[in-house]
A and B are shown apart, each in its own frame.
Chain A
Amino acid sequence: MKPFRIGRLVKERVNRVWMTLWTVIIILTPVIIGGFLLWKSSMLLEENSLMKLLGSSEWKPLSGKFGFSPFIISSLWVTFLALIIAGPICILSALHLTYYAPSFFMKIVQPAIDILAGIPSVIYGVWGVVVIVPFISGHLAPVFNAETSGYSILAGGLVLSVMIIPFILNILIEIFNTIPVELREATLSLGVSNWITIRSVLLRKAFPGIISAIGLGLSRAFGETIAVLMVVGNVTHVPEGVFQPGYPLTALIANNYGEMLSIPLYDSALMLAALILFAIVVLFNLASRLIIIRYENKYR
């Protein structure tokens, strides 16, 4: 064998090893993180049943009572609120941008979306405190006869929705752009209107993509910390309406980690909060995978 050929073989071999290694690392990372969190929270789990921890709303670290439901429920509230606001807006504007607006419009909007997506979340938080919170307490709540400081689930949901809009919108535009224009032409040529074409064919074709975009948005909203923490009130109770304050899991961890760690099991409890956060995000992902797989088996 000529030396350069051996060289190439070695190189190829090394590349293969590297690529495999990276793949393994990527697959292992979430497992390692999950395992680590489980290990760190095991002390608490040894003393209390998981069911009790998840179901209880009593959070009294000093007397050793750790009920996570206020935090879990707050997190779910703000996330779903954000998604209910952002989802329809994103789908409609992605459709508008790809199928209705003249092409120059996209050239203006795309950079705007990118800028919005790149704004640090603390700025969204400040904007929430300065604009959204007073707007809720001063204008919105009176309409519904509600008493609120403005620091509320609704404020969290609104700020979050604005944060995830550019993120979801970007993915959706990408998805609609990958649908072959010929499919649109073929459908239109059957003599159906633009809207029916979109509704019955293009949206259906884009369905798996839309689900994963929304799944990603959901995970993102669920994990967002700073901006939500600044506007949501951080009161430990189970919120019963959007005008009430809440205390999401992320805020719990961020506000308390590194403090009061002398309290027994507190450290362990915060780790469990992180584990719950992690598990729910994984669940979101699995659920959207499942929906996509079911769709693909049906229509492919």
Chain B
Amino acid sequence: MENETKIRIENLNLSIGKSKILKDINVEIPKHKITVILGPSGCGKTTLLKSMNRLTDIYSDIRVSGKILIDGEDILHTDKDVTEIRKRMGLLSQRPYPLPMNIYKNIAFGLKISGRRKKRFLNKRIEHYLKQANLWNEVKDRLKEPAASLSIGQQQRLCLARGLAVDPDIILADEPTSALDPISSQEIEKKFTELKNGYTIVLVTHILRQAIRLADYVIFMYLGEVIEQGPAEQFFKSPQTEITKAYLKGSIN
């Protein structure tokens, strides 16, 4: 059980129009761990993350080939509805994008999709998820206010709660702290270390120190390729390739 693989990507190639963005990606993402995708900006981290919940589908000029296996099931070649696949993953993006509704409805939205409409049930679950995202105390008296009235840091936690509310088992986070102040960033980071007991977390970052703080497993990308991957300790202590060494020394960024 210790090193069970949650997501396995095999020979993934992705192109946008004529340019190849991801080249022959092969990675394994362990269950209930924080896997950090690390690399300089523009190397394809976001694209890789989005291909995991098939957000790449919505762009007509993106071509994907290869396999993405989640719990052994290839989500690129399945009869399952794409909404079923996406429900299993919560996405946290670079900046928070709350829904244009009040705070309460931002969370209720996801719950209602799964057919839960009873007021009592909703209230209880909404409280639960807001607490899980460390937001409850700040918003419990203003649930009917627009989500946009929250601070950016609060909005990001709201987005986390919103993602958790559809009951995923994977969290995909794309530089989730890059728009936040240091305190809010810390809160998110702390939350992640708590959440990893119940969730498989894939975290994209280009902040080396954040990677060192959080990672159990590291995937290092450079120019659309995975250069190196492995358990965090091994990766940071004894990197195998010259590119990785250079990156860790700070000469690529």
Interface residues of A (CB under 8 A from B): 102-103, 180, 182-194, 196, 200-201, 204-205, 298-300
Q: Are B58 and A189 in contact (CB under 8 A)?
A: no
Q: Which residues of chain A are near B102, meaning CB under 8 Å? A: 299
Q: Which residues of chain B are near A190, meaning CB under 8 Å? A: 86-87, 109-110, 113, 162-163, 166
Contact partner of B148 among A186, A191, A193, A299, CB < 8 A?
A299
Interface residues of B (CB under 8 A from A): 50, 53, 55, 58, 60-61, 83-91, 93-95, 97, 99-102, 109-110, 113, 146, 148-149, 159, 162-163, 166, 172
Q: Which residues of chain B are near A205, meaning CB under 8 Å? A: 100
Q: Which residues of chain B are near A191, meaning CB under 8 Å? A: 83-88, 110, 113, 166
How far, in whole Å, are A186 and B161 apart by their CA atoms in the complex?
Answer: 13
How far, in whole Å, are A196 and B87 apart by their CA atoms in the complex?
Answer: 14
Question: Can you sample 19 A-B contacts with CB below 8 Å?
Answer: A102-B61, A182-B93, A182-B95, A182-B97, A184-B58, A185-B50, A186-B97, A188-B86, A189-B53, A189-B89, A189-B91, A189-B163, A190-B113, A190-B166, A191-B85, A191-B87, A204-B100, A204-B101, A299-B146
Q: Are B83 and A192 in contact (CB under 8 A)?
A: yes
How far, in whole Å, are A184 and B86 apart by their CA atoms in the complex?
Answer: 13
How far, in whole Å, are A185 and B97 apart by their CA atoms in the complex?
Answer: 9
Q: Are A186 and B91 in contact (CB under 8 A)?
A: yes
Q: Which residues of chain A are near B93, meaning CB under 8 Å? A: 182, 185-186
Contact partner of A103 among B60, B109, B172, CB < 8 A?
B60
Q: Shortest CB–CB separation between residue B45 and chain A, in angstroms?
A: 15
Q: Shortest CB–CB separation between residue B105 and chain A, in angstroms?
A: 10
Q: Are A102 and B60 in contact (CB under 8 A)?
A: yes
Cross-chain pair count, CB within 8 angstroms? 72
Q: Are B55 and A201 in contact (CB under 8 A)?
A: no
Q: Shortest CB–CB separation between residue B33 and chain A, in angstroms?
A: 21
Q: Are B163 and A188 in contact (CB under 8 A)?
A: no
Contact partner of A189 among B90, B95, B146, CB < 8 A?
B90
Q: Which residue of B lies closest to A105 (CB)?
A: B60
Among B60, B100, B109, the one with the most A-chain Cβ atoms within 10 Å of its Cβ is: B100
Q: Which residues of chain B are near A186, meaning CB under 8 Å? A: 91, 93, 97, 99, 159
Q: Which residue of A lies closest to B90 (CB)?
A: A189
Q: Which residues of chain A are near B97, meaning CB under 8 Å? A: 180, 182-183, 186
Q: Are B149 and A300 in contact (CB under 8 A)?
A: yes
Q: Are B55 and A189 in contact (CB under 8 A)?
A: yes
How far, in whole Å, are A291 and B38 apart by their CA atoms in the complex?
Answer: 46
Q: Shortest CB–CB separation between residue A204 and chain B, in angstroms?
A: 5
Q: Which residue of A lies closest to B94 (CB)?
A: A182
How far, in whole Å, are A190 and B60 apart by their CA atoms in the complex?
Answer: 21
Q: Which residues of chain A are near B85, meaning CB under 8 Å? A: 191
Q: Shortest CB–CB separation between residue B61 and chain A, in angstroms?
A: 6
Q: Shortest CB–CB separation between residue A105 and chain B, in angstroms?
A: 9
Q: Which residue of B lies closest to A102 (CB)?
A: B60
Q: Shortest CB–CB separation between residue B144 and chain A, in angstroms?
A: 10
Q: Which 4 A-B pairs have the closest CB atoms?
A: A191-B87, A189-B91, A102-B60, A191-B86
Q: Shortest CB–CB separation between residue B161 and chain A, in angstroms?
A: 12
Q: Which residues of chain A are near B91, meaning CB under 8 Å? A: 185-186, 189
Q: Shortest CB–CB separation between residue A108 and chain B, in angstroms?
A: 14
Q: Which residue of B lies closest to A104 (CB)?
A: B60
How far, in whole Å, are A184 and B59 apart by their CA atoms in the complex?
Answer: 12
Q: Are A192 and B149 in contact (CB under 8 A)?
A: no
Q: Are A103 and B61 in contact (CB under 8 A)?
A: yes
Q: Are A300 and B166 in contact (CB under 8 A)?
A: no
Q: Which residues of chain B are near A193, meaning CB under 8 Å? A: 83
Q: Which residue of A lies closest to B95 (CB)?
A: A182
Q: Are A188 and B148 in contact (CB under 8 A)?
A: no
Q: Are B113 and A187 in contact (CB under 8 A)?
A: no
How far, in whole Å, are A298 and B166 apart by their CA atoms in the complex?
Answer: 25
Q: Shortest CB–CB separation between residue B62 and chain A, in angstroms?
A: 11
Q: Which residue of B lies closest to A180 (CB)?
A: B97
Q: Which residues of chain A are near B61, meaning CB under 8 Å? A: 102-103
Q: Which residues of chain A are near B60, meaning CB under 8 Å? A: 102-103
Q: Which residues of chain A are near B58, meaning CB under 8 Å? A: 184-185, 188, 194
Known: A192-B83, A200-B109, A299-B146. 6 other contacts (CB 8 A): A184-B58, A185-B50, A186-B97, A190-B163, A191-B85, A298-B146
Q: Are B148 and A300 in contact (CB under 8 A)?
A: yes
Q: Shortest CB–CB separation between residue A267 and chain B, in angstroms?
A: 51
Q: Which residue of B lies closest to A207 (CB)?
A: B100
Q: Shortest CB–CB separation between residue B40 and chain A, in angstroms?
A: 21
How far, in whole Å, are A199 and B85 apart by their CA atoms in the complex?
Answer: 21
